[in-house]
Structures are given as C-alpha cells and as structure tokens.
Structure 1
C-alpha cells in the first residue's frame, strides 16, 4: 500500500534528531516540577483576567464615561461657552475699534501726508543724483582715466626691473642651495635612511615573533583548551537544560490552562446551581405569577382608569377651548361688527355634468 501512494499524498515527517540519555532523564522530572509550579500561576492569571474583564465591563468603563462627561462639563464646555460668548464678541469689538481708531487714521496719514512728502523727497534725491552723475561723467571720469594711464606706465617699468631681479636671484638660489642639497640627499641621507629602516624592521620583526609565540603559548592555547574541553560541553549541557525547561514551561502552561478552564467551568456550574438556578426558579414560579396577578388586578385597572381620566380631561379641555374661542369671537363681533365677506367671482367654467370638448359650445371660449 505504501508503494501505491503518490508522493503528494505521503506525509512528510520532519527528521528528528536522536536524543541523549541526559535529555530523557531530565524531561519527565522537569515537566512534573514545572507543572506543579505553573498551575497556581496559571489559575491566578486566569482569575485576574476574568476579574479584569468583569471590572472593565461593569466598573471601569462606566466610571471612565462618567469621568469623561464630568471632564467635558467642567473643563471643555465652560471654555467653549467662554470662547463663543465672551472672547469672540470682545475680539470682534476690539478689532472694529482697532480698525476705526488705528487703521483708518494710519491709512489717511499715509495717503494724504506721507505719500506727498515721499514724492517730494524722491524728486529732490533724483535731482541730486542727476547732479552727481553729471559731475562723475564730466569731471571725475577724465581725471581717473589720466591717473590710471600714468600708473600703468609706472607699473610697466617696475615689472621690467622686477623680472630681471627675480631671474638673477633664482639662478643664485638654484646653484648655491638646491643642487648641493639634492646631491647630499641622493648620496648621503638616502643610503643612511635605508640602512636604519632595514635595521629597525629586523629588530621589530624579531621582537614581534617573540611576543607572538609567547602570547600564543601563554594565552591562546590555554584559552582554546578551556573553550574546547570545558566551556563547550558545559554550554551544551546548559542549552539542553534550558531547552527542556522552556518546553516544560510551554507544556505546563498549556496543561495548566486546560486545568484552569476545567476548574473555572466547575466553579461556574457550581455558582449556577447554587445561585442562578434558585433565582430563576424563584423568578419563574413565584415572581412571575405574582407579577401577572399584580398586572391583571392592579396595574391594568389603574391604567384603564388613568386612560379614562385622561380622555375625560382632554374632552373637558377641548370643550373649554371651544367655549373660549366662541367667547372671543362674540366679543370681537360686538366690538368690531361682522367681518366683511369676500365677493363671489363668476367663474367661466361649466357647472353641470357636461364636459368641455373642442367641437361643442360648452367650452370656456364659446360659452358666451
């Protein structure tokens, strides 16, 4: 049968790693101990969750709504009313006063005082600018051009003298300083520097090799042995213990949840049979018949009597209103006389059963 199954229908099981004797020896005791420790915690947690939900639905949420309403009534609504009925009208009044007392006078001052004065000052400044422009174009510019031509000639002479002096000084510096310094660097300082560098490199390499092997023998090899033969086995054991503790906690938490659910259902059933069912029985067998008797004997006759009294009261009020209306009409008639009736207007419409047609004389246009 296994060979007839398709590869899609075969269940692929995850490959399980072999477990050692340490895992098998630790699993059952750890799960028993963790289960004993976790069951009270899980039951207390479930009890706290149920109590929290009950308090949230019956106490905290209505209390929060009441506090929210009180906060609105105490903090929000007074400020809204103050803003709407005091601050806004006062601000509008102050704005109108500011417009009338500040903006309008400043606008008048700008339009009829500052603008003409500014135009006059601008005209004066334009006149002064035109005079200065004429002075620059006719006097200062020619004088400046002459001074610039003179300075240009002096600069050409000084540049020629400076070029000759620079060439002589550069030749002397090259052959008195640069050439001897280059010869000294190539034939004396460079060989001495290379020798010193080789010597320092050899010394540093030897010292580094000695320090390397000293540190390897004294530090690296003992640390490697400690890691390989002590820390790794201990870490593996601790990892197995931690994994088993975690799995035991998860298994115990789930089992404790089922135990807590069963205990909660038992307590709910006990509460139902001790309190709810007796109350339901009392309600069904005692309070409901008594309520029906009270409804049929007391409430319905009282309602019918109240309905009859209300109807009689409405009729009395209607007759009283009609009497008052007639009395007012009589008083108005005695004081002002009969009201004038509107005159009847002859309508040019057929009054009988005959209907209007296009070919007869009973239409509105051909009746006369």
Structure 2
C-alpha cells in the first residue's frame, strides 16, 4: 500500500504589505546572493580537486614516511633486539635464580621446617601436660575455698542492699510529699488564677492591635496598587499594545520575507552556478579532454601496441628463456654438489648399512587367511 502524503498546510491570507515587501526584497537578495553562491561553488570544486590531487597523496606519502622513520625501526628493534634479549634474560634468571631457589626450598627449607615443627609440637605437648596439672590444682582451690567465701560475701551484700533499699524508699516518699505540697500545688494555683487570665488579656489586646495594623496595611496597599496601576501599568500596556506589537509584527514579516528570499535566491543561484559549471566543464572537455583522448586513441595506442609487439614481447620471451636456462643450470649444479657430498661421505664412512627386515606376525602372500580355509594368521606357526 502506498503511503499517503500529508496534505500541505493551508496558506494564511496575506495582505498588501507582505506583497509590497516581498518583491523588492527578493530582487535585492538575488542580486547579492548569486555572486556569493558562484564563489562558494567555485571554492567547493577547487577544494575537492585540491583534496583529491594534492592533499590525499601528500598525506599518504607523509604516512608512509612516518611509518618508515618512526614505526618500522621500533618494530624491528622490539622484534629482533628486545624480545631475544628478554628471552635470554628470562632463561638466565630461571637458571640462576628459580632453579637454585626451588632446590633450596625442596631440599633445605622444607626438611628444616619439618624438624622445627616436630620440636615445637613436642614442646607444646610438654607445656600442655604441665598446664593441665596446674589447672587441676587451681580447680580444687576454686571449688573448695573460693566458692564458699564468695557465697558468704554475696549473702552479706544482699542483706545490706535490702536494708539500704528500704531506707531509700522511705526517704524518697517523704521528699516526694514535701515537693508536691511545697512546689506543685502552689504552681498550679498560680497558673490557674494568675497567669492564665493575664495571658488571655494580653492575647486579646494583641489580636486587636493586629486587626488594626492589618486594616491600615490593607488601605495603604490598596492606594499604592491603584497609584502603580495608573502611573506604570496602564501606560506600559498601551505602549505594548499600540506600539511594540505592530512594530514587532512588521519586523517579523520583513524578517520572514528576507529569510524566504535568501532561500529562494540561494536555490536559484545554485541552479545558475550549476549551469555555468556545466558550460565550463563542456568547454574544458571540448578544448582539452577530447583532443587528448583523440591523440591517445589514434596516435599513442597504435604506437604502444607496435612497441609492445616488436620490443617488449621479444624482450620478455628472451628474459624468460634466460631464466629457464639459469634455473636448469642451478638445478644441475645442485645435483652435482649433492652427488659430490654423497661420494665424499661414502669415501669417509663407507656404504650405509642396509635396513634389515623385521619378522611380522601377519603372513603375507598366499599364507594369509582366505574364505575357503579355517586357519588364521594368529594360529599358524
């Protein structure tokens, strides 16, 4: 299903002021924008040509030079110097430090540690036996002497505490009664019959004063409100409504028309610039590209084919023939050198021993098992 395009918004009706502003603004903006757009398009094309023909090859050359000067030496130094030296130092450290340390730990420190642990266990067992004997004696003293004495002391302290508790309770009761009749009852009477009426009278006076002050402040605020409204608000509203709003609407119309005119002028200038660019490109093709292409097709291509057929191909065939002859000569030289080495080895060490055949349990040839025989290779002698 085809998606329905949204309907364009209905254009608002425009007055004569908009039409009177739009046409001269668009003419002036078009005259001003066309040269700017053509210069901009020329700069864009020149920048693209400069990027493709100068900056990109120069960047690639600088990248290659940077790699050759900075990256590759460090890579070679790391790969062929640092890594082999590090491996050699690691092997040397393993041989000089790790292996002796492992041997010392395995054959010296471990037996010494086991012996020290055995001695410590023996000393600990002796100390534990002695401590158990001392603990048994102390337990008898605790059970037979200290426990009865502690019980007697606790009985005396408990009786003393009961006597002191009874005395403290009586004293506290007497003090509580004195405080109630000397402090609490007079304070309640004073609050009920003196402080409460005085506070209510003061609160009634404060409410009256607050009501009067509020009325005065309300009247003063009402007067100041109308003074401010008449002197400041109403003139500001009139200036905003009858001066600033019309001027702002006029400036908004002018700004909108200038923006629309800039957009239309930029697009029209783009079409003009594209047409001028196509004309210049066609002129350049007619003046330079087509003659060069015709010279390449009608002159350079036949000359190149003739040079290829008369010079390059025979030279390539001769080079391939020389290469084949060189390879054959090198192969014959290698075979001669290999044969000479074999003769010299045979002269010094004699003929090599022939490999002896090993007896196999599996018979070969006709003695193997067949479908018509009941014997097997494992039961044959």
| Common fold by TM > 0.5 | yes
3-state SS of the aligned residue for 1:202? helix
Distance 1:334 1:195 in 2: 143
**CA 218–165 in structure 1, closer or farther in 2 if over 3 Å, else same:** same
Q: CA deviation at 1:225?
A: 0.3
Q: CA deviation at 1:25?
A: 0.8
Structure 1, gaps ≥5 residues long: 1-7
Q: CA deviation at 1:274?
A: 3.1
Alignment of 1:19-168 (within 5 A): 19-58=14-53, 59-60=55-56, 62=60, 65-66=63-64, 69=67, 73=71, 77=75, 142=154, 146=158, 152-153=165-166, 155-168=168-181
Alignment of 1:1-368 (within 5 A): 14-58=9-53, 59-60=55-56, 62=60, 65-66=63-64, 69=67, 73=71, 77=75, 142=154, 146=158, 152-153=165-166, 155-168=168-181, 169-186=183-200, 188-342=201-355, 348-350=364-366, 358-359=371-372
Post-superposition Cα deviations, 1:246-276, rounded to whole Å, max 9, x if no partner, equal: 1111111222222222222223333333333
**CA 161–86 in structure 1, closer or farther in 2 if over 3 Å, else same:** farther
Post-superposition Cα deviations, 1:266-293, rounded to whole Å, max 9, x if no partner, equal: 2333333333333323322232222222
Distance 1:339 1:290 in 2: 66
CA RMSD of aligned residues (A): 5.0
TM-score of the pair, normalised by structure 2: 0.70
CA contact (8 A) 1:42 1:256 kept: yes
CA contact (8 A) 1:350 1:364 kept: no
Q: CA deviation at 1:74?
A: 7.9
Q: CA deviation at 1:244?
A: 0.7
CA contact (8 A) 1:26 1:241 kept: yes
CA contact (8 A) 1:348 1:364 kept: no
Distance 1:324 1:172 in 2: 138
Distance 2:198 2:84 in 1: 98
Q: CA deviation at 1:210?
A: 0.6
Structure 2, gaps ≥5 residues long: 129-133
Aligned residues: 343
Distance 1:144 1:22 in 2: 117
Q: Which moved more, 1:300-309 or 1:334-343?
A: 334-343
**CA 243–76 in structure 1, closer or farther in 2 if over 3 Å, else same:** farther
**CA 267–184 in structure 1, closer or farther in 2 if over 3 Å, else same:** same
Distance 2:109 2:199 in 1: 85
Partner of 2:131: none
Q: CA deviation at 1:77?
A: 4.8
Q: CA deviation at 1:171?
A: 1.1
**CA 238–78 in structure 1, closer or farther in 2 if over 3 Å, else same:** farther
Distance 2:87 2:328 in 1: 52
Q: CA deviation at 1:24?
A: 0.4
